[in-house]
Structure 1
Amino acid sequence: MTAPLTFLFMPESAYGPTNNCVGIGAELVKRGHRVVFAAEASWAGKLAPLGFEEDLVDLAPPPEGDAAEQSAGQFWKDYINAIKPEFRKDTIEQLETVVAPIWQELIDGAKHCEPQLRDIIGRVQPDVIIEDNVLCFPALVTAGKPFVRIVSCNPLEVRADGVAPVFSGLGEHEADQWATFRDEYDRTHRPMWEDFAAWVEAQGAPPLGDLDFIHSGVANLYVYPEELDYTDARPPANTWTRLDSSVRDTDDAFELPEHLRNGDDPLIYFSLGSLGSADIALVQSVLDALADGPYRVIVSKGPRHDEFELPANCWGEEFLPQTRILPLVDLVITHGGNNTTTEAMHFGKPMVLLPLFWDQYDNAQRVHECGYGRRLPTYGFTAVELRAAIDEQLSDAAHIERVRAAGEAIRARDGLRRAADVLERVGAESRQP
């Protein structure tokens, strides 16, 4: 048995990366280790009840007055709500109006919290530092401790020539468009990257790779099922370990509401994530399409839950224990966030995908081209098309069995155990003389 170790996690503030780290951290706590979260400040009081220590950071000057009490991940909810009109643009146009501004917000946050992180590391004295984010925080790689990177976004984030460019949503059959997208990424990102890379080195960190915003670690983990992975075109390097899924066991118990328990109509889970659900018009268009259909629908209503009503065949709340609900349903309608995508695969559920921004397009395209779901145009689908996509996914017994079997195989690979094994090994090696 490995001697008790101290692990410091710094996840991105959004629910997906934080919940991924919660799952891995809970496995480490079960094994007798100390786990500390240097999460963003709006997570205060939400991680300690799960058995973790909280030593949190501000990514911007703390709000004052009534705004001081924020819900978890509020930093990004507010930001995404402000830029959501840009989601209607093509992915190549989003590079300038969505992707680059998000990078800049991340950069501003990293610069703001750098002194805080150095203080936290000094207090915690971790054996291993783990970051689940897309951006370098220099304090994490200059602390003289082993640094482990987690990618809980689509693995195209680790760029390579043989696969589609990240954020593009371009398929395998669209390779003739890859170079144009990469050129536009370079144009819209290089000046910002050059400024950030210079700042990173000024903090004492190693140089970043060209147009990379983060370093690799002594070990690297990525969360993506083998069934969707790109390993045929780009085998992972030796330092990379795939976690086919990372499904936490910390969600609350769940029972179906009584009026959804009975009947033969398909049971659907609808979630656009904590960020995407801020687009009330889009949420409403999906609900309108489902309202009179032969479906029973569980709706993750999100932060604007009190601004819309659910049809009679739907039920939902602001927050739902997603990992308890997914095993119960027949199909998932999702934005294609990495967390929901990999969890739907973990439980063997077909998907209909409506991507909005960032890597959601890449996940939606990959699920579609690998045959585990159907991607629709997020702002261009009709009610007839949405219903047809649902029926397509649920009417073919062989298809349902294929998706179910994939989930069984993914669960057997036990991503949480694999992640904890890697982190324990890194920690044990760091203590060797």
Structure 2
Amino acid sequence: MSPDVGGGLTVLFMPESAYGPTNQCIGLGKVLLDKGHTVVFAAEASWAGRLTPYGFVEDLVDLTAPDPDAGAEAAGQFWIDFINETAPEFAKPTIEQLATFVQPTYQALIDGARYCEPQLREIIARHRPDVIVEDNVVSFPALMTAGAAFVRIVSCNPLEVRGDDIAPVFSGYPADDRSGWADFLNEFDRTHGETWTAFDAWCREQGAPALPTRDFMHISPTANLYVYPRELDYVDARPLGQTWHRIDSSVRETDEQYVVPPGVADRPADSGLVYLSLGSLGSADIALMQRLIDVLGTTRHRVIVSMGPRADELRLAENMTGAATLPQTTLMPQVDLVITHGGNNTTTEAMHFGKPMILLPLFWDQYDNAQRVHELGFGVRLATYAFADGELVGAVDRLLADTVLRERMAAVGADIRARDGLRKGAEIIERVGLEHRAPSGG
């Protein structure tokens, strides 16, 4: 901590109400807390009671009007409900999802930002943070206009930061084939133009700057962090300015230890240990989850299943164990292969621990992560709803038997862990807060 500034900082985090961004902020916040700073979470209300055990201050927001008749919600229930309602859209090509999923998702996020703007202003007035950190895909003007230093985190695929020489975000299109890029962008503009124009006008009415073209999130003039391993990054095709800082991974250190049950740990010599997770939202697609379980149940391998919020509706095979939630960061080092939806947290954590992947993308940037891992040879992308049983079994067997790839992944993981993105990110947030506070506090 700077000797010129007495006392700790007050750092306010505002993550999107989903496990990925919230866990990302928990990891960074815990490092800052351990360094003597006060960490406040202005998270969505369904996270009540889940953040204080880490030592954080909870001052939560509602993104919609509370239902007085509703019982206690699962963390992130706002998005679990939304995903459940729109799950049929996930089988469509990505260009068709722009109208039926991506635009409604942006609109839901925007509605939440508008609704909680007065709440955020009150929270900021109560805590007077030195630095405000937002991990979301739409702007909350109260966070930018508070007079505190503002840090943006991109914990989705960094194609979110657009450029002419990279594939359009949400497309899942190959880097070396531009044939569909223009049509995808034209469809994005057609489906999102009015939504963007209205949100840009509202942000400016709240005192925030104009939004960048096609983007629903402002770039911080001070510091922008993005979470993505160097081995997957796009900076050769789309260089970033000096305010941008890559965190190669940001693996939280708050998960409890995971012990593999004996029946799964004691596996035959010719079998592997596989981790299956479609994330807290994707796992709510019961039909897809059960099909994956049934197919993997025919293999000689052992499988650990993250079963999600509807765990009681799933039937595991004899070669499996699982639970509704699992401590992913302590479980993943023990497995040989990860089957994932391609969410940014799971993708970067698999790279961090050096694990090859099979990717079954569902929505948002998961297609981009799946394509990137596939085209760079760190795993295999399959058609989520159209794969043949033999394709999945064959991919599992092939990746587990590929000793060259597994050695390559182990080396990549060791390099990523050595770069210690978690502490790098926390140090950047700390430095920004201290530099902002120094003129008045030093």
TM-score range for the pair, normalised by the shorter chain length = over 0.9
Asked if structure 2 preserves the Cα contact closer than 8 Å seen for 1:330 and 1:349, the reply is: yes
Write the distance in 1 (CA, Å) between the matches of 2:438 and 2:38: 19
Write the distance in 1 (CA, Å) between the matches of 2:437 and 2:198: 36
Residue 185 in structure 1 maps to residue 213 in structure 2: no
Q: Please state how far the C-alpha of 1:261 moved relative to its aligned partner.
A: 1.5
Partner of 1:224: 228
* Paired residue secondary structure (1:432): helix
Asked if structure 2 preserves the Cα contact closer than 8 Å seen for 1:130 and 1:149, the reply is: yes
Q: Which of these residues, 71, 76, 96, is aligned with residue 79 of structure 2?
A: 76
Residue 89 in structure 1 maps to residue 92 in structure 2: yes
Of 72-81 and 227-236, more deviation after overlay is shown by 227-236
Q: Which of these residues, 27, 30, 52, is aligned with residue 31 of structure 2?
A: 27
Partner of 2:55: 51
Deviation per residue, 1:169-211 (Å, 9 max, x gap): 0011221111110110000000011011111111111111112
Partner of 1:233: 237
Deviation per residue, 1:9-32 (Å, 9 max, x gap): 000000000000000000101111
Residue 100 in structure 1 maps to residue 103 in structure 2: yes
Write the distance in 2 (CA, Å) between the matches of 1:231 and 1:368: 18
Q: Please state how far the C-alpha of 1:38 moved relative to its aligned partner.
A: 0.2
> In the alignment, residue 9 of structure 2 is paired with which amino acid?
L
> In the alignment, residue 394 of structure 2 is paired with which amino acid?
A
Q: Please state how far the C-alpha of 1:398 moved relative to its aligned partner.
A: 1.0
Partner of 2:352: 346
Q: Please state how far the C-alpha of 1:33 moved relative to its aligned partner.
A: 0.6
Partner of 1:321: 327
Partner of 1:150: 153
Write the distance in 2 (CA, Å) between the matches of 1:210 and 1:266: 47
Write the distance in 2 (CA, Å) between the matches of 1:393 and 1:368: 12
Write the distance in 1 (CA, Å) between the matches of 2:240 and 2:393: 38
Q: For structure 2, list consecutive stretches of 5 or more residues without a partner in the other structure.
A: none
Partner of 1:311: 317
Q: Which of these residues, 382, 388, 394, is aligned with residue 394 of structure 2?
A: 388
Write the distance in 1 (CA, Å) between the matches of 2:227 and 2:179: 28
Asked if structure 1 preserves the Cα contact closer than 8 Å seen for 2:40 and 2:59, the reply is: yes
Of 152-161 and 382-391, more deviation after overlay is shown by 382-391
Q: How does 1:229-378 map to 2 (within 5 A)?
A: 229-263=233-267, 264=269, 265-378=271-384
Residue 160 in structure 1 maps to residue 163 in structure 2: yes
Q: Please state how far the C-alpha of 1:118 moved relative to its aligned partner.
A: 0.1
Deviation per residue, 1:75-130 (Å, 9 max, x gap): 00000000000101000000000000000000100000000000000001100000
Q: Please state how far the C-alpha of 1:396 moved relative to its aligned partner.
A: 1.6
* Paired residue secondary structure (1:417): helix
> In the alignment, residue 277 of structure 2 is paired with which amino acid?
S
Q: Please state how far the C-alpha of 1:257 moved relative to its aligned partner.
A: 1.1
Write the distance in 1 (CA, Å) between the matches of 2:176 and 2:437: 48
Deviation per residue, 1:402-426 (Å, 9 max, x gap): 1111100000000011011111110
Write the distance in 2 (CA, Å) between the matches of 1:112 and 1:288: 43
Q: Please state how far the C-alpha of 1:158 moved relative to its aligned partner.
A: 0.6
> In the alignment, residue 139 of structure 2 is paired with which amino acid?
C
* Paired residue secondary structure (2:177): helix
Q: Please state how far the C-alpha of 1:432 moved relative to its aligned partner.
A: 2.1
Write the distance in 2 (CA, Å) between the matches of 1:107 and 1:401: 44
What TM-score do the two structures reach when normalised by structure 1?
A: 0.99
Partner of 1:200: 203
Write the distance in 1 (CA, Å) between the matches of 2:196 and 2:171: 19
Write the distance in 2 (CA, Å) between the matches of 1:197 and 1:427: 27
Deviation per residue, 1:56-89 (Å, 9 max, x gap): 0000011222x23101000000000000001010
Partner of 2:431: 425
Q: For structure 1, list consecutive stretches of 5 or more residues without a partner in the other structure.
A: none
Write the distance in 2 (CA, Å) between the matches of 1:295 and 1:242: 36
> In the alignment, residue 38 of structure 2 is paired with which amino acid?
R
* Paired residue secondary structure (2:212): coil
Asked if structure 1 preserves the Cα contact closer than 8 Å seen for 2:257 and 2:331, the reply is: no
- Count how many residue pairs are aligned between Structure 1 and Structure 2: 432
Write the distance in 2 (CA, Å) between the matches of 1:423 and 1:171: 34
Residue 410 in structure 1 maps to residue 416 in structure 2: yes
Q: Please state how far the C-alpha of 1:237 moved relative to its aligned partner.
A: 1.2
* Aligned-residue RMSD, C-alpha: 0.8
What fraction of aligned residue pairs are identical, expressed as a percent? 62
Q: Please state how far the C-alpha of 1:232 moved relative to its aligned partner.
A: 1.2
Asked if structure 2 preserves the Cα contact closer than 8 Å seen for 1:62 and 1:68, the reply is: no
Write the distance in 2 (CA, Å) between the matches of 1:205 and 1:292: 55
Partner of 2:115: 112
> In the alignment, residue 346 of structure 2 is paired with which amino acid?
T
Write the distance in 2 (CA, Å) between the matches of 1:247 and 1:240: 20
Write the distance in 1 (CA, Å) between the matches of 2:402 and 2:83: 37
Write the distance in 1 (CA, Å) between the matches of 2:51 and 2:91: 35
What TM-score do the two structures reach when normalised by structure 2?
A: 0.97
Residue 4 in structure 1 maps to residue 8 in structure 2: yes
